[in-house]
Chain A
Amino acid sequence: MTRLSSAFVKGPALVTFVTGGDGPTADILDALVAGGADVIELGMPFTDPMADGPAIQQANLRSLGAGTTTADIFAMAAAFRARHPEVPLVLMGYANPMITRGPEWFADQCRQAGVDGVICVDIPPEEDPELGPALRAAGVSLIRLATPTTDAARLPAVLEGSSGFLYYVSVAGITGMQQAAQTSIEEAVTRLKASATIPVAVGFGVRTPEQAAAIAKVADGVVVGSALVDLVGEHGANAAGPVLELTRALANAVHSAR
């Protein structure tokens, strides 16, 4: 049982996303853990976040504007691992910063920093050789995305070579915008769980404890990103407090959903 898979065994898990280097990241990550998040996604900033809505776009720009480098992200990850030996940590971002020094370099940095998994938005199964083999060889989970457009014919390819959990993007769209209808989420999760042997977490457009609780009734995990990133944007250096508050409310909702 890996750190990542054990996060999902005691009931529905809260998965939280923030962009690395946007605000006081170490304090914010500690607040996520203190608030009860079960899995931490640390966003690697990129100049061209084309799958993200305004909230996370702005976070990327703030982080890069503050001078955040890939080395900084790995330093944040390694420091987090030292402070929180048991909490699973996932890097999420875009292909180019991940492959630019070679996938083996990136996978090795992940392993050394204690990163459990990687979500790469723009490497679909068709381009797996670009990153997947290096991550698997380093023992780092490749977490893939499934979407409303992922039909039954594609699903096996998405699941092949992925591990940790399956991230179901509940709306065809960008991050932080509208939420999918609860019934469509329920149908999709049922369909995915019939094929997937790994947990299924649902994200995109989830902002409130009420929404999170409804999803946690059917899914193994609920991902919240833009709502937290908005707090970082609003409160900047003082974001840890508000982040802790929202995370606690989300965690209570998710953990008591069933």
Chain B
Amino acid sequence: MTANPPANSFRNQPDERGHFGQFGGRYVAETLMPLILDLEREYTAAKVDPAFHAEFDDLLEHYVGRPSPLYFAPRITEELRSLAVSQGKPECGAQVWFKRDELNHTGAHKINNCVGQILLAMRMGKTRIIAETGAGQHGVATATVCARFGLPCVIFMGATDVARQAPNVFRMKLLGAEVRPVTAGAATLKDAMNEALRDWVANVHDTFYIIGTAAGPHPYPELVRDFQSVIGKEARAQMLARTGRLPDLLVAAIGGGSNAIGLFHPFLDDASVRMLGVEAAGHGLDKEHAASLAGGRPGILHGNKTYLLQDSDGQITEGHSISAGLDYPGIGPEHAWLRDVGRVDYTSVTDTEALEGFQLLCRTEGIIPALEPSHAIAAVARIAPTMPKDSIVLVNLCGRGDKDIFSVAEHLGVEL
């Protein structure tokens, strides 16, 4: 879905075996391998099929509501400039802009990918859809496209997440999906993914697995990235049209990393554009967290090689974040590669900082963000005051916060 990049490009990954440098690949049970190869063939054909693109684009425009706006946020910009003044840097305070993917149908970027994958599923003649979900956003997006196309849908969700994301569970059920709580392990996203893989391996003949992030076995990291790249392609064109220049810094939150790679990828060969991925530091990097790059090392899980939170024996440890969408112990393999080659910087933000970012955006811009992009906002609050006033920071506002108001209230000690 991308124009031919030059040979020395950062945009020509993965290789023909699905590897991003040493990361990625196809580490799946033999039962799934032929299916993965089928999917790769079908996606390769779809990529060059104008009819596939036309249908994808049409659905994104008329069903999802794209393009999403590019918004200059004046009051958060001013607030962070005041902060710069108080830090003795009156010449600093970057302009803060948001890519408004929280305005998409279903309230997050997840729907972009689901539209693309369900079109692939139908091309392959699959008649049943499964998906995993953490916060429930990907589950809702999957249930949505299944309702739209009339396909039965089973969503695997950790029992812990079922409890803390009740509104999204109800949404999925309204949309006709069956929600299966998973009680194994810590009963969160990783366990939901295990259970989805178990279902898939037993139903390979008719079932398509819509993976929600840019991870899993090849070709998922590539195709999820390509479907989400609509974010960065739009943002790049919008920014050029509005300001005549490219942004100086892109910022996005990272769990698996699909919203971040979707924003970053179209800019990777723009040397002047710096990029920052923000992992969830949970209670702190020295305590429980979900920052796979900061606190993990390379390993194999869920079909790909990437940075994982694990012990010295390679046992996977549980991620923790206030955001159910970020508490996954791995990260998409392209991010692992981009970090190792040095093209993208990565940082992390604690639960407490994310809650501050959440409230900052509510108060200054009248936008209630999801807890996931609240991590990106918190990182911007740290960095924008150190950048010159004429610089531009573009943040992916990848989800809205309606789903999170109950858990935020709880953390702030407010009884609803």
Contact = CB atoms under 8 A, between A and B. Distances in A.
B204 interface: yes
Majority secondary structure of chain B interface residues (helix, strand, loop or mixed): mixed
Contacts of B316: 47-48, 96
Contacts of B35: 149
Given A47-B315, A48-B316, A99-B314, A146 B194 contact: no
A187 interface: no
A207 interface: no
B174 to A, nearest CB: 30
Contacts of B305: 130
A57 interface: yes
A96 B300 contact: yes
A51 B201 contact: yes
A145 interface: yes
Interface string A41-75: 00000111111110001000100100001100000
Nearest to A99: B300
A53 B32 CA distance: 16
B29 interface: yes
B30 A147 contact: yes
A145 B30 contact: yes
Majority secondary structure of chain A interface residues (helix, strand, loop or mixed): loop
Contacts of A100: 299, 310, 312-314
Contacts, number: 119
A127 B31 contact: no
A236 to B, nearest CB: 20
A45 B308 CA distance: 18
B337 to A, nearest CB: 17
Given A172-B201, A174-B201, A122 B303 contact: yes
Contacts of B194: 48-50
A79 to B, nearest CB: 19
B369 interface: no
B310 A50 contact: no
Nearest to B18: A126
Given A124-B26, A126-B17, A50 B198 contact: yes
A150 B34 contact: yes
Given A96-B314, A97-B314, A127 B25 contact: yes
B342 to A, nearest CB: 24
A149 B38 CA distance: 12
A151 interface: yes
A119 to B, nearest CB: 11
A215 B213 CA distance: 42
Nearest to B193: A50
B354 interface: no
Interface residues of A, number: 44
B145 interface: no
B127 to A, nearest CB: 16
B274 to A, nearest CB: 33
B184 interface: yes
B214 interface: no
B348 to A, nearest CB: 23
For B205, B300, B316, which residue has the most chain A Cβ atoms within 10 angstroms?
A: B300
A70 to B, nearest CB: 5
Interface in B178-233: 184-185, 190-191, 193-194, 197-198, 201-202, 204-205
Contacts of B313: 69-70, 97, 100
A121 B305 CA distance: 15
Nearest to A151: B34
Contacts of B30: 124, 144-147, 149-150, 158, 169
Given A122-B29, A172-B201, A149 B34 contact: yes
B171 interface: no
A48 B185 contact: yes
A127 B197 contact: no
B33 interface: yes
Interface in B305-338: 305, 308, 310, 312-317
For A48, A51, A101, A123, which residue has the most chain B Cβ atoms within 10 angstroms?
A: A48
A95 B314 CA distance: 9
A214 B184 CA distance: 34
A84 interface: no
A97 B35 CA distance: 25
B17 A172 contact: no
B142 to A, nearest CB: 19
A127 B34 contact: no
B26 A48 contact: no
Interface string A174-189: 1001000000000000
A241 interface: no
Contacts of A146: 30
A145 B31 CA distance: 9
A172 B204 contact: yes
Interface string A121-149: 11110110010000000000000111111
Contacts of B191: 48
Contacts of A97: 313-315
A258 interface: no
27 contacts: A47-B315, A47-B316, A48-B191, A48-B302, A48-B316, A50-B29, A50-B193, A53-B198, A61-B184, A70-B314, A96-B316, A97-B313, A98-B314, A99-B314, A100-B310, A121-B29, A123-B27, A124-B27, A124-B29, A126-B33, A127-B27, A147-B30, A149-B32, A150-B33, A171-B202, A172-B31, A174-B201
8 smallest beta-carbon distances between A and B, as pairs: A100-B314, A173-B202, A97-B314, A96-B314, A95-B300, A147-B31, A50-B194, A145-B30
Interface of B: 17, 25-35, 184-185, 190-191, 193-194, 197-198, 201-202, 204-205, 299-303, 305, 308, 310, 312-317
